[in-house]
Structure 1
Amino acid sequence: MAVDMGSLFMRSLGELRVQPTRKRVRAKIDGETIVDSSRAVLVWEPKRVVPAYAVPVEDVVGGTRPTSDPSEWDGRDYSRIPVWDPRVPFAVRTTAGRPVAVGPDERPVAGFIAEDADLGGYVVLDFDGFDTWLEEDEEIISHPHDPFSRIDIRDSSARYQLALDGEPVVDTTRARILFETGLPPRHYVPRGDVLVDLAPSSATSTCAYKGVATYHSPIIDGHPVEGLVWSYESPLSDGEGVRGRLCFFDERMDVTIDGVALPRPKTYWS
């Protein structure tokens, strides 16, 4: 019987998963290299969908020291959330182990030593605790890249229409569809095919593959709708094909493709 690969990955979500990488990995604080390793391992704790880096303790300047976890935790109960994205703090554990700190005393970074034989001698590190991460000589942001996740961008001549509360918002046959593993297809449209005015928003978000997104608020019935549309004005290489285009959350709008109404996707952003 054939194996559905998506189901295979989801069945492993509740397990501790590891994958060695051949990339040289470095992490810095205030310009000083704290981590320098060619033996890094990608680690997905149970329930997490993006990996963290673990490195041998001897590849960390100054090693590790015992501590209560110095990373931030908002105190929320995440136990009922079935899938954890990067918004779940590093301090929330699903793996047995002990917290440690690395780096200078005035800027401690959280880590933990897992009680797992395959991670013996390794420390898992809080990505957000460092100022800069490098894979080889290129900076990465947000989180390590997942070797089992990718992006494809394809031109589409299908008629893509969006409406909100009955008001048309987008009508285009010039969308570029961004297919990203584990996420619904995203339609990035030319600004000229947006039928409503947009107000600037101060909100931003980061994607390890596409870069820093800036947000805009469509004006509906004279009022801005916050957090509905974003763009990548200076994308990373994987997102170059959607530079300057606008993308809307289909989860919150009425979507029609070639005259066929589609159900709203169910995601974190619904």
Structure 2
Amino acid sequence: MAVRISQELKRLLPQLRYEPTAKRLRAKLGDALVLDSQRAVVLWEPDRYLPVHAVPADDVVARLEPGPSPGAVPPERPGPPSSPFPFAPHTADGEPLAVRVGGTLVPGAAFRLADPDLAGYVAFDTDAFSWFEEEEPILGHPRDPFSRIDVRASKAHVRVLLGGVVLADSASTVRLFEGRLPPRSYFHPDDIRWEHLVPDPLRTVCPYKGVAKYWAAPGLGDGRPVAWSYGPYFPEMLQIQDRIAFFDERVDVEVDGVVQGRPRTTWS
């Protein structure tokens, strides 16, 4: 019987998942080394889409101290993209730990896993430290080794509307395809109806595309951001640099005159 990969991945979502990485991994707090490992794994806690790194406790240079309770809690569902998963509370069984680096204590920044297949491994809060793979700094959470991004120029006529008001209109967009996520159309700034958008203070980090800034559409939506853009961070993302994309989950999209349904995702 044929297996649809996306459905199989969804079936695995409630489980603790991991994949070893061959990259040397280091974390620092300021200039102080926290960990240095050639045995790291990319780790997804149950019901989490975004991974963290975990390494053997033997590869941790910093001191690990007992941290706050509770430990495992019922699974937490994703919020909107403006609220990425915090490191805690955890959905796996284990022991929360504090990380002491010199005279600095970072409470709850580590989590000793109880699963026997990951015995001795400790997961770390991505946002608490600076991270390096081999000799290069990395941005945001670990990249999913089973996901990739393709960027393609498109001549489809795409219109974005909200409350019947046109926010963007173009027959020359750049389409970004990213794993199980809905395809995104990135518009040239000249194709945006800027009179309907205002800057939003939200900033988020994507390990594939860089740092995003956002816009809202006052009086047209529910107040949440509806569009975003990435600046120059990764050379391989040059095609979308300074272009604007929209949450198809929060706006109405027409492609070549055909109205597209709003996809149901964690950002709906």
Fold match (TM-score > 0.5): yes
Query: Is the aligned partner of 1:241 residue 2:239?
Result: yes
Q: Deviations over 1:63-104 (max 9, x none)?
A: 422222599xxxxx9646379987232221222211222232
CA positional deviation for 1:226: 5.5
Runs of 4+ in 1 over 6 A off after TM superposition: 82-86
Q: 1:256 aligns with which of 237, 254, 257?
A: 254
Aligned length in residues: 263
Structure 1, unmatched stretches of 5+, are: 72-76
Percent identical pairs in the alignment equals 41
Query: Is the aligned partner of 1:81 residue 2:77?
Result: yes
Q: Secondary structure at the match of 2:249?
A: helix
Q: Deviations over 1:107-138 (max 9, x none)?
A: 325212212222112111111121x1111122
CA positional deviation for 1:159: 0.5
| Cα distance change, pair 56–174 in 1 and its aligned pair in 2 (3 A) | same
CA positional deviation for 1:150: 1.1
Name the stretch that deviates more: 48-57 or 92-101.
92-101
In structure 1, the residue matched to 2:125 is 126
CA contact (8 A) 1:160 1:257 kept: yes
TM-score, length basis structure 1: 0.88
Amino acid paired to 1:101? A
Structure 2, unmatched stretches of 5+, are: none
CA positional deviation for 1:140: 1.5
Q: 1:228 aligns with which of 226, 242, 254?
A: 226
In structure 1, the residue matched to 2:52 is 52
In structure 2, the residue matched to 1:28 is 28
In structure 2, the residue matched to 1:187 is 185
TM-score, length basis structure 2: 0.88
CA contact (8 A) 1:210 1:237 kept: no
Q: Give distance in 2, aligned partners of 1:123 and 1:88.
A: 18
CA positional deviation for 1:191: 1.0
CA positional deviation for 1:181: 1.2
Amino acid paired to 2:77? I
Q: 1:96 aligns with which of 76, 93, 102?
A: 93
Name the stretch that deviates more: 177-186 or 81-90.
81-90
How large is the Cα RMSD of the aligned pairs?
2.7
In structure 2, the residue matched to 1:74 is none
Q: Give distance in 1, aligned partners of 2:255 and 2:125.
A: 41
Q: Secondary structure at the match of 1:168?
A: strand
In structure 1, the residue matched to 2:105 is 107
Query: Is the aligned partner of 1:13 residue 2:9?
Result: no
